[in-house]
Amino acid sequence: APLGAPSLPLSADETLDASVELDEPEVEDAATTYAEAIISYNVLEWEIQIWTQGIPKGFEHLSAEDAQQLLSALEVRKAVMTASVSSGQLDMPSYLQSVRQAIDKEKASAQQHKASGRTSLALHAMRRAKLMSDEMTEAAAT
């Protein structure tokens, strides 16, 4: 069930929202949903990097425990993605197709955040779109 207006920069049914109090399992579910919505390995690495440094701008409403839960979910997602590539479940053409589609979703998310006055989340989403665009450019060059 939706938890209210998204406060995380993704299109997902469940997100962590500043206006909704969540209990521990709900926070875990929302963190997992957030991580699993990330298609791009480059975005995943960037998310892990920024969350390792502390709670990013626009996410200040999260507690330290919630932020740690999100970081853990991101690390699990990275491990699963790496295993999918290693096992051959995820091939490059399918991956790039998914990244291409995710760029448009990220840009739409940025526009929604901007329209809602959440500038820092809009910038976060645009950064993710830029990382994916760069990833597509690199893939095309190889």
pLDDT confidence of residue 127 = 96
Q: List pLDDT tens digits, range 9-31.
A: 343 333 444 444 556 667 788 88
* Residue labelled with tokens 């979703």: 105
Q: Which of 37-41, 55-59, 128-132 has the lowest mean pLDDT?
A: 55-59
Six-digit token string for 4? 């209210």
Q: What number is the average pLDDT over the span 108-123?
A: 92
Q: List pLDDT tens digits, range 121-140.
A: 999 999 999 999 999 999 98
User: Measured between alpha carbons, how far is 90 from 96 in angstroms, rounded to an integer?
Assistant: 10
Is the pTM higher than 0.75? The answer reads: yes
Contact indicator for 14, 3 with CB cutoff of 8 Å: yes
User: Measured between alpha carbons, how far is 130 from 69 in angstroms, rounded to an integer?
Assistant: 26
pLDDT confidence of residue 125 = 93
